[in-house]
Structure 1
């Protein structure tokens, strides 16, 4: 960033659509580095080196300046977002209790409205709040030092686990490695113009959407995610109007655009500039890619621009990607394996995530025998390379098991991703997950957390009587809950309906997702091991096969 500011200080670094459409805030590299240095100087004077610093901002340029300011001061950035209702507040409190930060960086408004409540609920009354919008902008920045001896850059908290969030320890070396890896994957950056609406606290939004343009030196246009959710066409209009060449999102966003935007909103749209359309953060579906390409071909979009990719926070971000401009490849798996069990939905057309990126290695391992799988056979995806993070903050044993996996014929330090996939003709295809994570609209929801919420939603739910799992409906992943109630032979349909409504309200409030279906089963409907451990995949298969025993109720 300093080099960009010295060599071309007035070149545009960031453009922010403040209203999602027309109002543009623009920062040059000079303006950005001045804000970064102002924040860095304040943090350095307060002794932030080596300390965790919570970032509590809505999307905007100040969030980016704050993140880079923490890194420059030698602090450890902890990206998150201001509380808006009970769900985000509980997640923020969980992060604060886990990370034990000393500082919170935010705006004056957020500090004044949230500081007391956050201190009371988290039990961390000694938090030092710094309002970056109250700091004067420094005209000079060369006199502000860059701390070089702090290896840990950030804690990237994995999304969805509201009960026990896990902070991935990402080092400066990890960040630089992933930036260089993505730069090699994308190729020369001359003429590239990026665009994004992804959340800045999310790894794909912050590291891929923001860090990469700053590293490679091409301009970024971005907006708050809520403007896309309100009207998905805003994303496409921004690409068309500002002639963006690089932009992307999870699969659900492409599906929304392909199926939910009325034709009359597309008048005047020109997507011929969009040459790099990446797709990641959740399973990429062949039908969605085909539907999107067909819908927007009349508006100049080219199918070869679609670029599915695979990555995860534990590997900083990118692991594999399809180069833009190449043909989309698929693979029909005759038996998709999910947690070691054949799925009743097979066969399924898997989409290639492309080839493994520079300096990294992927191996497909049988999770039970730890033998390497031959090409075309599904196993767990193991990753080795310089972008693999240090581990989870404060979780030594879990870090060792996840980040330090070993094979007899390979180096130590493989990351066990928990994802299932296969290699075919040198390309990676992701087929499912072993870990109990449900991905909806690009966000991770841990099954255990959702089950706990549903169980506590109503007194009639049996203890341990909820199983949460995903199903595919309408080409998207949806949440299904199997619920067992306490024995009561006189329970009426109205009483069951009241329980259903209570569960829906609790899950929506706590996780921001509405269940696609709540199936009330008889006692024993949930499959379990002999030791009583819940078997979600077996239960899911019984649900899909229509063989679950239903709860009997009185009229």
Structure 2
């Protein structure tokens, strides 16, 4: 039985050395230059990196991985694991143009992880050499371009002594509500979550054979859990083939993603909701004419709120080229759970709860709540009252708690946060039956004993399916009523064509006065909306603001304190595309928002 992905890679290299593990689209274009690597070559390069680390006595230490998109990161990541070194994926620097915020994050991660070595591509290592004055700690850290490690080094590789509890890597959280923390993901966590992904996404041996081993197409950043644990590591876990392209190449031309899916015909591909919106925005007749999406079986959508409107429009637009509604696959996960917690059922359209059932958007089909699916086998999902820490019945909103072997070990060198987040217990463990009597399906709600991960996310269960409603700390409470910022943001975005989907922040401020905002004598918290607006609508700013106010007043019964329209791309987001509402609120209070329309006054 495999103890780690290292054992699995060794097996693939022996049994299918010539099979392509990954191909990389160098220019992002399916018809352009392609680099690929076989399982035999992947194992050899990983062992060369591992041997280099072992010879320098670095087993057990932390190695920061700084790579541009491409295949070298994968060799370094698997090389670190093969050496018994804890990998720390990071965002590579961009030379002298690196901004202050990115440098601050890099410094924080290097210090927190106590990294003793930096592995990177040649250009990255060269760029680090020019940044000594900004990162003086580099003087104490060994930096190496792994391309320069010779193949012959693999001959001295020694198999590491790994157990299920050995830490494989630190996944630093993207920090949507707090400073980044290093999640300790063990080898056992990785294997269990790959099992969950495989089971929930239907990655069976028969499917792999049917698709000729073409498993994923992905442009997702590999330094983030969604791009790493899913497309990259599930490929190694199953011995399949995956096509990769750069996130930048996707953002430049979103059609490249769909072209790659059309050409390489994988079973699975996906991204956060905003990526589907970008594809819709660029869905020209020329793009559609060249696509065939009929083989796309799992189009996963996670990491940020899944919009019913996006699912509908994507199906309507790309149904003409073979995309099926049954391929839509909302899912939910987080770094602290390694990645996947719940996922839809393959081949079944997503479950929606119409707005008439959920409240303020009565009659608005596009505002329906979207199910994130069911837990994987062995994963327990509980909805708990965050204060009383008692389980809530189906349909009631509370904090999402998760149990199972995929739940990570804790936060690196942060015992207090680990105890608060990873060691929760239910005060009343007499939960509901773990089997849904209506359909006989396991709801993932059997075990009520033991410790749970407190996700900080809000949601509810219905017929065994999870519906995510927001973040606990982002909850807006006005006059004793709870309002989810996602609901306010959706109402705002639906009010005018110029408002960019997934680029609105709703939060509350005290009524006593704000720098750059209106002043009044109203006590208590009041909602504020900050929304990115298309530049061509700058002349309609007042009209757009009025429409936002009306939409939120009508749908939620709220009087909005302030509405601010800002330039595209200026609302703070995490590396996974989640809105940073706290950072947006701080910018609003400081008067530093990039305003394109004058703020309206109450």
> CA, structure 1 residues 210+368, in 2 after alignment: closer, same or farther (shift >3 Å)?
same
Matched, 1:111 2:125: yes
> CA, structure 1 residues 304+103, in 2 after alignment: closer, same or farther (shift >3 Å)?
same
The correspondence of residues 230-309 of structure 1 with structure 2, limited to 5 A, is 230-309=252-331
Query: 1:321-356 CA deviation, whole Å, 9 max, x = no partner?
Result: 0122112211236686xxxxx978998411111111
The correspondence of residues 85-484 of structure 1 with structure 2, limited to 5 A, is 85-86=98-99, 87-115=101-129, 117=131, 120-121=134-135, 123=137, 125-138=139-152, 144-149=158-163, 151-160=166-175, 164-187=179-202, 188=204, 189-190=208-209, 191=211, 192-193=213-214, 194-332=216-354, 348-408=367-427, 409=429, 410-436=448-474, 471-472=489-490, 473-474=493-494, 475-479=501-505
Per the TM alignment, residue 476 of structure 1 is displaced from its structure 2 partner at its CA by: 2.4
Paired with 2:305 and 2:421, the residues of 1 have a C-alpha distance of 21
Paired with 1:36 and 1:246, the residues of 2 have a C-alpha distance of 26
Contact kept in structure 1, 2:93 and 2:124, CA below 8 Å: no
Per the TM alignment, residue 244 of structure 1 is displaced from its structure 2 partner at its CA by: 2.0
The residue matched to 1:89 in structure 2 has which SS? helix
> CA, structure 1 residues 470+49, in 2 after alignment: closer, same or farther (shift >3 Å)?
farther
Contact kept in structure 1, 2:389 and 2:425, CA below 8 Å: no
Query: 1:353-391 CA deviation, whole Å, 9 max, x = no partner?
Result: 111111110011122232322111111110000000111
Question: TM-score under structure 1 normalisation?
Answer: 0.80
Query: 1:104-133 CA deviation, whole Å, 9 max, x = no partner?
Result: 101232222214526743645311112101
Paired with 1:552 and 1:238, the residues of 2 have a C-alpha distance of 42
> CA, structure 1 residues 177+195, in 2 after alignment: closer, same or farther (shift >3 Å)?
same
Contact kept in structure 1, 2:220 and 2:271, CA below 8 Å: yes
> CA, structure 1 residues 380+25, in 2 after alignment: closer, same or farther (shift >3 Å)?
same
> CA, structure 1 residues 248+485, in 2 after alignment: closer, same or farther (shift >3 Å)?
same
Paired with 2:139 and 2:220, the residues of 1 have a C-alpha distance of 32
Contact kept in structure 1, 2:407 and 2:453, CA below 8 Å: yes
Residue in 1 that maps onto 2:16: 8
Paired with 2:530 and 2:350, the residues of 1 have a C-alpha distance of 34
Contact kept in structure 2, 1:468 and 1:482, CA below 8 Å: no
Bigger Cα displacement from structure 2, 30-39 vs 140-149: 140-149
Unaligned runs of 5+ in 1: 337-341, 439-466, 489-495, 500-519, 529-534
Residue in 2 that maps onto 1:43: 53
Query: 1:390-411 CA deviation, whole Å, 9 max, x = no partner?
Result: 1111221111111100013232
**Number of residue pairs matched by the alignment:** 486
Per the TM alignment, residue 138 of structure 1 is displaced from its structure 2 partner at its CA by: 3.6
Residue in 1 that maps onto 2:40: 30
Residue in 2 that maps onto 1:57: 67
The residue matched to 2:389 in structure 1 has which SS? coil
Unaligned runs of 5+ in 2: 1-8, 430-447, 477-484, 495-500, 532-547, 564-597
Contact kept in structure 2, 1:90 and 1:162, CA below 8 Å: no
Q: CA RMSD in A?
A: 3.4
Contact kept in structure 2, 1:34 and 1:139, CA below 8 Å: no
Contact kept in structure 2, 1:178 and 1:387, CA below 8 Å: yes
Query: 1:177-198 CA deviation, whole Å, 9 max, x = no partner?
Result: 1011111223313324211000
Residue in 2 that maps onto 1:452: none
Question: TM-score under structure 2 normalisation?
Answer: 0.74
Residue in 2 that maps onto 1:548: 561
Query: 1:518-542 CA deviation, whole Å, 9 max, x = no partner?
Result: xx132777946xxxxxx87999999
Paired with 2:362 and 2:417, the residues of 1 have a C-alpha distance of 32
Paired with 1:524 and 1:13, the residues of 2 have a C-alpha distance of 63
Contact kept in structure 2, 1:57 and 1:81, CA below 8 Å: yes
Contact kept in structure 1, 2:512 and 2:522, CA below 8 Å: no
Query: 1:75-110 CA deviation, whole Å, 9 max, x = no partner?
Result: 111101212321322221221122121111012322
Residue in 2 that maps onto 1:19: 27
Contact kept in structure 2, 1:469 and 1:536, CA below 8 Å: no
Query: 1:44-83 CA deviation, whole Å, 9 max, x = no partner?
Result: 1112211111000011110011001011101111101212
